[in-house]
Structure 1
Amino acid sequence: MRLKLLIYTFLLLLPQLLFGQNVLRGTVLDAATALPLEGVTIATDAGDQTYTSADGSFSLATSFSAEQLIFSMIGYKLQRIKLPVSDQELRILLEPGAAKLQEVTITGYESNRPLLETAGAISIIDRASIERFDESSVVRAVNTVPGVRMEERAPASYRLSIRGSTLRSPYGIRNVKVYFDGIPFTEANGTTALNLLDAANIGGIEILKGPTASIYGAGTGGTVLLEPRRAAPGERSLQFNTIVGSYGFRKHTAAASIGTENSSILVQYTKQLYDGYREQSAVDRDVLLISSEFTPSEKRTISANLIYSDLYYELPGGLTLEQYQENPRQVRGGQFGSVKQNASIDLEGINVGLKQEYRFNDYLRNTTAVYGLHKFKDNPFNTDYERNTNQEIGARSSFAYTANLGSIRSTFTLGAEFQRGFEVARTYDNNSGTPGSLRTDDEVVAKTGFAFAQAEFELPASIIATAALSLNDTKYEITRLQQVSSGNYKYNRDFEAVLSPRVALLKRLNDKISAHASISSGFSPPTEEEILTSDGTLNEELEAEKGTNYEAGIRGFAGKLSFDVVGFYFRLKETIVSRQDVSSVAVFRNVGSTSQKGLELNAAYTLLEQPEQQLSSVKLWSSYTYSHFRFKDYQKDEEDLSGNQLTGVAPHVAAAGLDVTTKIGLYVNLTSNYVDELPLNDENTVYADSYFILGARAGIKRSLGSKFGLEVFGGVDNLTDKKYSLGNDLNAFGGRFYQPAPDRNYYVGLNLSYKL
């Protein structure tokens, strides 16, 4: 009843009346086949944006300051036209691209520019990349891009690393800021419950690597921007999807989509079940997504989202090398064994967000978002039992002003973001999966916020210059209501406000290639879980990390080849690392600094692009990451670890694949992934073996009459049947480093759609 009331309240926020407006209308077709193209991005240079529907049609309300229309789609050449002055119906023919250059409009850095005009290391994961795999998670899709590693210590227990940020993340996601539809998904306490989302909820992902504090606040790892699934203009359909696979994997998705010229509503429900490759590794997840966008007038666009999640997953625990080699499917045993203690997490949450973009006139626009969340966690662990309730509110607002300074077109952005979270956190003895005696009872208030400003100038000689600055502040207020050993007290930690600048230059060498360089700094305070550990200990000495990043890159395409190359040097001070104590509780400390030098390469080559032929498309893609990451000034007790490799970071990581499509709808996706050996402890005395795995998916998509669409597919993961650990426990006590991934496993699925 409470959920229904929340949903009804949310729906009342949606605009009930949609007003008529003057908009640009048209159709986008494939220039070679004259067939309509679905999912083409249509944007103006003022930031207005929409997508084509299944019949290739679109409508777009434009700002008065807009001068150009930009049409982009992966696999097709970018096309620009001047904004029409009449109400003519547009007919756009997109030519197939010679290579898969990810030339989509980038929302990161508030730029709304094509990738070739965006200075920074950015990776794009589109919906097609997610659908190369079984969609149990986005882990395998994320691991196809350079500089980023996503790990799964247990099913639904994710860990995300951008350029080595896993170092301070024994579990969960830290030091990486995540947004969903431009609204903070990372909480005020610095943690991100990404497992509350299903892969089916995500329409696309932008990953900004390195410090992005100048626009997105505290963080030295990077920023992940998630776009929700939405109904395209003109779409009115029902969809049903089901997938079954090895080890009891089942996933069912049902959705309804209605899109018009000025409104879009998608309601999606997903149920995922998994018995588990290992004992005590089952998953049961329900997710309801309501995603909507409305344009009630030519000046206003409103989007609203609701995510309700109910997630239960089990934790098998880490294994020693001997246990891992003997039987990777076993769990942690002993007095505090995972089965005996029912090690698991039961997580329920609701997240509601509302965003508005308002265009005041030709030159000025504002984007404002507000959100609220409620979350409950019940977590019997091997050595204790946690029960937490969290409530949070937050807002983000920015103003963008476009003007011509003489002949220089300039855009100035000014904004701020604030989050406040309140958490009731209790720990108990774990008596075989039930809470025992109370250990600690805490109330935690987390407040974080920042103000930012950015100026962007289009200089002569096709140069774009960007300068940005933010002021970041974070504060924790902890009230200990009960602790057996030390009694009640209050602890406040207010981290000093830090200025974080970013300067970037981009040069368009020609219409196909651009080069960029930037210098940026970042600030990352400890998360609540690093200050208040799971055993109730307060870590009062922990300081915030601070770092400076230098990078340069070149991207573009030449003939059938597209490429994106970035080199960087990042120096991090007050580096936070984690170690496990005898009770498996993670303990955090600052250890000096790290030196992180790296190279990231992404390339694609189109062997064949002939849509009118039976074999219509054959494309190769690849990514490579080189990481020379080292500790500096690291003294651990009497041992000097300076010069050691950064824990958990592989020197070489590569991914590659082949995508084949045919005119009749048959397709094949082949993928491969290589990870070099990597150190599992700061002393570099234990290493995880390197591994190479293969995956494949094949299927057919067909239209059944004018109303029904059908896709049947099947696939295999870990085709090489390699024994490997996808989420190693770093610096684990007792040598329990290994979290084995499944061996060779299979899946089959069915997608059915009906046009209303």
Structure 2
Amino acid sequence: MILFRHTHTFLLILLLLIFPQVLLAQELYTGTVLRADTGQPLPGVTVTASSGEQGISNENGYFSLATSTVPARLVFSFIGYKTEVISNPRAGQELRVLLEPGAANLQEVVITGYETNRPLLQTAGAISIIDRDVIERFDESSLVRAVNTVPGVRMEERAPASYRISIRGSALRSPYGIRNVKLYYDGIPFTEANGTTALNLMDAANIGSIEILKGPTGSLYGAGTGGTVLLVPRRAAAGEQSLEVGAMAGSYGLRRYTATARVGGEKSNFLVQYARQEYDGHRQQSAVDREVLLLSSEFRPSDRRILSANLIYSDLYYELPGGLTQEQYEQDPRQARGGMFGSVAQNASMNQESVNVGLKQEYTFSERLRNTTSLYGMHRFRNHPFNTDYERNTNQEIGGRTSFAYNTQLGSIGATFTAGGEFQRGFEAARTYDNNGGTAGDLRTDDEVVAKSGFAFAQAELELPANFIATAALSLNDTRYDITRLHHVGSGNYKYNRDFEAVLSPRVALLKQLTEQLSVHASVSSGFSPPTEEEILTSDGQLNEELEAEKGVNYEAGIRGFALNGRLSFDVVGFYFNLRETIVSRQDVSSVAVFRNVGSTDQKGVETSIAYTLIDDPERPMSQLKVWTSYTFSHFRFDTYQQNESDYSGNKLTGVAPHAATAGLDLHTRFGLYFNLTANYADETPLNDENTVYAGSYLVAGARLGIKRQLGQHFGLEVFSGVDNVADTKYSLGNDLNAFGGRFFQPAPGRNYYGGLSLKYTL
């Protein structure tokens, strides 16, 4: 009995001695895991301590992990997202962890473009995603190099900040600017009612990611045969409060400054961003000065409603060096167009100021029914001395879009029905003058232009047995221009109205998911693309009354998926597009672009993208090593094309390279050091419809080296440097197609360097 009492006493004393040590050894780590792009909670994330303990985040993204010792690292991993590592975590403090979606995990990438928010592996269509990591591979002075990493898409700069986007050869009717491709920002129309898009009013830092739908997408996005580009804005993540500043300098007088403030809460988030970019130019008369202010916000007043608001103010000035002949290009690619109407003599340039405001509401009526409605307004003033005239234009525009989605069951078949519409109305006061050495001279024309564009759409998506998903969609498109000519030298005042007949654009698609890692798809879609205002009312004030809308049918089939435990991803699409009433452009003697319909074109192609992750282990010194490539084959021909006595039928399509490829290597280390290498190849490209002048093929490579480190609890630092066109290759980017006088070539920069840093303070 005495022994029993003494034994208990001994055990009690031992327990009292050990228990405080156990308490001291226990470290508790808590926090929330969120999606970096949307700020939404992520359930099911595995949290692993370097000391061996593991935990899982709950349905609200919350995790709690107790460790026996102080861990050197906490590793957050989740299928479809990039692994995040927090070094030397501090116990007792709420952690906020942001996981970036991993583009290589195709089954987890959600596509919003077809309104059903399905994973990419369950979406029938040719789609490319450009995430924030791809944009930041380069110096962010331009989106050109990021966009050109994906197959089937070509972005060019005729001059710095003068952009042109071609999807599957649609640059034929775009001697300048962006046409035949529709752009949306946060689901709100960014392409104007007149069919043009001023993408240069936006800064690359304003964009979180880009979703590109290739080919006719008129069933959901109205008139267009080129494709649709969806821009996702930057957002502040839930729980984030930070200030970030950045600065960069580079060759040819490049200076760039950014400042960003983010405040994210449970029910709302705000982002304010200012970007300033200056560039002296790699050619004469090619300077740029741009300021952009972005206000981006999102509110969640209830579980049913999400409200978002965006404002973009832009003040942009850039110069236009003009095209060079082959002889001038070979002699001195840094010169500008010369002569009496030369770019320097006439101060050829663009000065425009604009404000875009967009509001959007997503409302869930029930588990089955939801609605998304957006409204926007735009005001822009443009002051544009060109080589042969001087333009002063003021634009005002309003518009909106609404879409209802209803989920239901038809017996054993799941179904989603979507219906809605979009309307845009723009007013432009357009005046042209003589250009007297860079100043406005006598008035030539004075026009008031009202552009109205609208469409209604409907779509049904059915989940059939055996993992088939069928889609049928239809839209009815209408476009109208009302032009009132108040003044025209040599003629009287008059009115001109052009109402393009409403056209139905159907689309049918079928997808079969073979396994959780592989799917095949096929689709047939019809496209309709009326001329833009600039194609009807040319810069010299002439009206192109005979121009008709393009119409075409696109057939495509593809396969996408991943293998080797998710390390290998691939996406291959083949297509055939027959376009009728094809619009082409030619320059006249005064360098004014003249547009006309020329019969039809046959466009056959293959688009391929492949990525392979060799290393993906945050515990290793080299934590990630990835290689990737994209390749585009284009067999594009004029089918029927008769111009006066000349027959160009069978010629290669102007401005399209038969072969184009991009390849890259990405390396990351546990220490925060990273290295990106990118190479871009383009085959020789015909520059005129006659196929007598070609731009030579080229291979251009660039690299970026940097380091990202967390400095204590609140500060994050990134330092980087890079080089583009490392071999100093002479090439022309953004060539002038069918240029008068042989001025086809717009030389790109030679070898150039950049470097910078960003500092982020998190409250």
Normalized against structure 1, the TM-score is what? 0.89
User: What residue is the counterpart of 1:63 in the other structure?
Assistant: none
State the 1:140 CA deviation: 0.1
SS in 1 for 2:327: helix
Aligned partners of 1:29 and 1:94 also within 8 Å: no
User: What residue is the counterpart of 1:720 in the other structure?
Assistant: 727
Aligned-residue CA RMSD (Å): 2.5
User: What residue is the counterpart of 1:221 in the other structure?
Assistant: 226
Relative to structure 1, the CA distance from residue 96 to residue 494 in structure 2 (aligned partners, 3 Å threshold; closer, same or farther) is: closer
* Equivalent in 670, 675, 680 of residue 668 of structure 1: 675
Is residue 287 from structure 1 mapped to residue 292 from structure 2 by the alignment? yes
SS in 2 for 1:110: coil
State the 1:720 CA deviation: 1.3
For 1:262-281, what per-residue CA distance to the aligned partner results, in whole angstroms no more than 9, with x for missing partners?
21100000000000000100
Structure 1 Cα separation of the partners of residues 516 and 739 of structure 2: 51
Structure 1 Cα separation of the partners of residues 581 and 524 of structure 2: 20
Relative to structure 1, the CA distance from residue 96 to residue 475 in structure 2 (aligned partners, 3 Å threshold; closer, same or farther) is: closer
State the 1:29 CA deviation: 4.3
Aligned partners of 1:30 and 1:95 also within 8 Å: no
Instruction: Look up the equivalent residue of 1:698 and give its one-letter code.
Output: L
Is residue 330 from structure 1 mapped to residue 335 from structure 2 by the alignment? yes
Instruction: Look up the equivalent residue of 2:599 and give its one-letter code.
Output: G
Structure 2 Cα separation of the partners of residues 98 and 620 of structure 1: 13
Map of 1:44-59 to 2, 5 A cutoff? Answer: none
Map of 1:91-490 to 2, 5 A cutoff? Answer: 101=106, 103-490=108-495
State the 1:159 CA deviation: 0.3
Structure 2 Cα separation of the partners of residues 98 and 656 of structure 1: 16
For 1:554-576, what per-residue CA distance to the aligned partner results, in whole angstroms no more than 9, with x for missing partners?
00011031100000000000000
Structure 2 Cα separation of the partners of residues 377 and 709 of structure 1: 40
Relative to structure 1, the CA distance from residue 258 to residue 552 in structure 2 (aligned partners, 3 Å threshold; closer, same or farther) is: same
State the 1:750 CA deviation: 0.3
Aligned partners of 2:586 and 2:738 also within 8 Å: yes
Structure 1 Cα separation of the partners of residues 650 and 417 of structure 2: 43
Instruction: Look up the equivalent residue of 1:151 and give its one-letter code.
Output: E
SS in 1 for 2:515: coil
Is residue 596 from structure 1 mapped to residue 603 from structure 2 by the alignment? yes
State the 1:31 CA deviation: 6.0
Map of 1:539-618 to 2, 5 A cutoff? Answer: 539-559=544-564, 560-618=567-625
For structure 1, which segment, 530-539 or 256-265, has the greater mean C-alpha deviation from structure 2 after superposition?
256-265
Return 5+ residue gaps in structure 1 as ranges.
1-22, 36-40, 44-49, 57-69, 78-88
Structure 1 Cα separation of the partners of residues 700 and 41 of structure 2: 47
Structure 2 Cα separation of the partners of residues 446 and 217 of structure 1: 15
* Equivalent in 687, 703, 728 of residue 696 of structure 1: 703
State the 1:55 CA deviation: 12
Relative to structure 1, the CA distance from residue 97 to residue 453 in structure 2 (aligned partners, 3 Å threshold; closer, same or farther) is: closer
Structure 1 Cα separation of the partners of residues 500 and 100 of structure 2: 53
User: What residue is the counterpart of 2:686 in the other structure?
Assistant: 679
Structure 1 Cα separation of the partners of residues 392 and 63 of structure 2: 47
Aligned partners of 2:186 and 2:230 also within 8 Å: yes
Aligned partners of 2:568 and 2:611 also within 8 Å: yes
Relative to structure 1, the CA distance from residue 487 to residue 300 in structure 2 (aligned partners, 3 Å threshold; closer, same or farther) is: same
For 1:61-90, what per-residue CA distance to the aligned partner results, in whole angstroms no more than 9, with x for missing partners?
xxxxxxxxx97645579xxxxxxxxxxx9x
State the 1:487 CA deviation: 1.3
* Equivalent in 503, 506, 511 of residue 506 of structure 1: 511
Structure 2 Cα separation of the partners of residues 138 and 441 of structure 1: 35
Structure 1 Cα separation of the partners of residues 585 and 665 of structure 2: 39
Is residue 520 from structure 1 mapped to residue 518 from structure 2 by the alignment? no
SS in 1 for 2:146: helix
User: What residue is the counterpart of 1:628 in the other structure?
Assistant: 635
Relative to structure 1, the CA distance from residue 103 to residue 34 in structure 2 (aligned partners, 3 Å threshold; closer, same or farther) is: farther
Relative to structure 1, the CA distance from residue 42 to residue 751 in structure 2 (aligned partners, 3 Å threshold; closer, same or farther) is: farther
State the 1:616 CA deviation: 0.5
Aligned partners of 2:79 and 2:105 also within 8 Å: no
Structure 2 Cα separation of the partners of residues 670 and 106 of structure 1: 28
SS in 2 for 1:190: coil
SS in 2 for 1:167: helix
Relative to structure 1, the CA distance from residue 99 to residue 525 in structure 2 (aligned partners, 3 Å threshold; closer, same or farther) is: closer
Instruction: Look up the equivalent residue of 1:477 and give its one-letter code.
Output: D
Instruction: Look up the equivalent residue of 2:730 and give its one-letter code.
Output: K
Structure 1 Cα separation of the partners of residues 428 and 98 of structure 2: 54
State the 1:103 CA deviation: 3.7
Aligned partners of 2:598 and 2:640 also within 8 Å: yes
Structure 1 Cα separation of the partners of residues 656 and 597 of structure 2: 18
Structure 2 Cα separation of the partners of residues 33 and 629 of structure 1: 55
Aligned partners of 1:565 and 1:600 also within 8 Å: yes
SS in 2 for 1:482: strand
Instruction: Look up the equivalent residue of 1:564 and give its one-letter code.
Output: D
Relative to structure 1, the CA distance from residue 646 to residue 189 in structure 2 (aligned partners, 3 Å threshold; closer, same or farther) is: same
Relative to structure 1, the CA distance from residue 669 to residue 479 in structure 2 (aligned partners, 3 Å threshold; closer, same or farther) is: same
Normalized against structure 2, the TM-score is what? 0.89
SS in 1 for 2:220: helix
Return 5+ residue gaps in structure 2 as ranges.
1-38, 52-56, 66-76, 85-93
State the 1:578 CA deviation: 0.1
SS in 2 for 1:109: coil
Structure 1 Cα separation of the partners of residues 268 and 470 of structure 2: 36
Instruction: Look up the equivalent residue of 2:751 and give its one-letter code.
Output: R
SS in 1 for 2:256: strand
Structure 2 Cα separation of the partners of residues 262 and 405 of structure 1: 36
For 1:682-738, what per-residue CA distance to the aligned partner results, in whole angstroms no more than 9, with x for missing partners?
000000000001000010000111000000000000011100011100000000000
Structure 2 Cα separation of the partners of residues 117 and 400 of structure 1: 18
Relative to structure 1, the CA distance from residue 272 to residue 72 in structure 2 (aligned partners, 3 Å threshold; closer, same or farther) is: farther
Structure 1 Cα separation of the partners of residues 521 and 568 of structure 2: 19
Instruction: Look up the equivalent residue of 1:246 and give its one-letter code.
Output: S
Is residue 750 from structure 1 mapped to residue 757 from structure 2 by the alignment? yes
- Structure whose CA Rg is larger: 2
Structure 2 Cα separation of the partners of residues 72 and 589 of structure 1: 51
- Once the two structures are aligned, what percentage of the paired residues are identical? 73
Instruction: Look up the equivalent residue of 2:471 and give its one-letter code.
Output: T
Relative to structure 1, the CA distance from residue 98 to residue 204 in structure 2 (aligned partners, 3 Å threshold; closer, same or farther) is: closer
Aligned partners of 1:372 and 1:394 also within 8 Å: yes
Relative to structure 1, the CA distance from residue 96 to residue 752 in structure 2 (aligned partners, 3 Å threshold; closer, same or farther) is: closer
State the 1:607 CA deviation: 1.0
Aligned partners of 1:220 and 1:524 also within 8 Å: yes
Structure 2 Cα separation of the partners of residues 530 and 695 of structure 1: 37
Structure 2 Cα separation of the partners of residues 410 and 197 of structure 1: 38
* Equivalent in 491, 501, 523 of residue 496 of structure 2: 491
For 1:510-546, what per-residue CA distance to the aligned partner results, in whole angstroms no more than 9, with x for missing partners?
0000100000001000000000000000000000000
State the 1:429 CA deviation: 0.1
Is residue 639 from structure 1 mapped to residue 646 from structure 2 by the alignment? yes
Aligned partners of 2:43 and 2:58 also within 8 Å: no
Aligned partners of 2:45 and 2:78 also within 8 Å: no
User: What residue is the counterpart of 1:12 in the other structure?
Assistant: none
Is residue 532 from structure 1 mapped to residue 543 from structure 2 by the alignment? no
Aligned partners of 1:98 and 1:609 also within 8 Å: no
